Structure 1
Amino acid sequence: MRRKPTLRIPLGILGLLAFLTIYALAVMMLSPWIGALPVLVQTVVYIVLGIAWLLPLRRFLIWMETGRWG
């Protein structure tokens, strides 16, 4: 446990919100292209895009807590 508060957590939360906003806008910009695909392919694409943002999240949360990326 940390004994002193750090700026990593508030900055990390702001960074995460900024990343998610940019990611959501990017997916929205792709939606006309995705909308032209068959429904089953759309489903797979949206599932993959919905899970993809989670991949870097583990290391990011570790950094927020410890200050190390690993």
Structure 2
Amino acid sequence: MPVRLRKFIGTLIIIVLVVVYALVANTIATYKLAESQWYVHLAYFLFTGLLWIVPAMLVIRWMEGPPRPKQR
């Protein structure tokens, strides 16, 4: 796969990941944490704010991986 195509696909995956992840995290917070204390909100948003980095890191590692040699 050409490097430019791999980076384009990876960029689209990261954009979709961030949008979907933000919607899911906020929906869970709205329904489950409505009556919680401020420190529970802080801990939840700190944790979920950092958790999306793990799948994004895997996508970026895939994007930057060495291209496969061409087979003849």
**TM-score normalized with structure 2 length:** 0.76
Where does residue 10 of structure 1 map in the other structure?
8
Q: AA paired with 1:13?
A: T
| Corresponding residue SS for 1:35 | coil
**Alignment length (residue pairs):** 65
Within 5 A, what are the aligned runs for 1:26-37?
26-32=24-30, 33-37=32-36
Say what the alpha-carbon RMSD is for the aligned residues: 1.9
TM-score (norm 1): 0.78
Structure number with greater Rg is: 2
**Mapping of residues 1-70 of structure 1, within 5 Å:** 5-32=3-30, 33-66=32-65
- Relative CO higher for 1 or 2, CA cutoff 8 Å, sep ≥ 6? 2
* Structure 2 SS opposite 1:36: coil
**Matched-pair identity in %:** 22
- Distance of 1:50 and 1:44 partners within structure 2: 10
Question: Structure 1 segments of 4 or more deviating over 3 A?
Answer: none
